[in-house]
Amino acid sequence: MSLNQDNRQGFYGEAFFQATVAAAGFTAQKQAEADLYLTDFDVGHPGPLGRLRYPKIGVQVKSSRNARLTQNDVRYKLKSKYYNELARPAHEWASPTFLVVVLVPKDPDDWMEVSADQLVLKDAAYWTCLHGQRQRQDLHPDTKVTLSVPRANLLTAEALRDMFDLADELRFQGQGVPVQ
């Protein structure tokens, strides 16, 4: 018996994210109770970065084979119960928390290519931070909110460093996170 496609997709999205974290030289610790804390991973830098030593950020990883791509955005539907928590101001969180949306091909057989020279993971991941956005308390917790995640926020090793820079600024400004 194998996993159903939704479970496979979730594990793939997390593995995709972890590969990016490793390539950037950071660490990713999987949260055992992710649903309780709304973060799948605590991502850390092993040493000084910015104004802190051993800084961390939280990351909620979602994967989708049905997100809609526009020229500038990835349109992703997130349950309002998650949206409302992630939209809380950054100062209410122990660590600034980011949302990563991993786009996957519809057919699991197309998720990766392997050769003697390379491993290619498909398709791509994008990040955003919702801290400080208007909450949608008027919605039922399972109603989905459509997010526009900038395609400019392609998740790369450099983008992870940018996320840490943004988190560093937020910690010292005591503000919410600006959304690009």
20-41 pLDDT, tens digit each: 999 999 999 998 776 667 889 9
111-144 pLDDT, tens digit each: 999 999 999 999 999 999 998 888 888 989 899 9
Long-range contacts of 163-166 (CB under 8 A, 24+ apart): 163/57, 163/98, 163/127, 163/129, 164/45, 164/49, 164/50, 164/55, 164/57, 165/50, 166/96, 166/129
Helix, strand or coil, per DSSP, at residue 26: coil
Q: What are the structural domains, with CATH classification, of the chain?
A: 5-173 (3.40.1350.10)
pLDDT at 150 over 70: yes
Name the residue among 126, 129, 99, 103 with its Cα closest to residue 39: 99
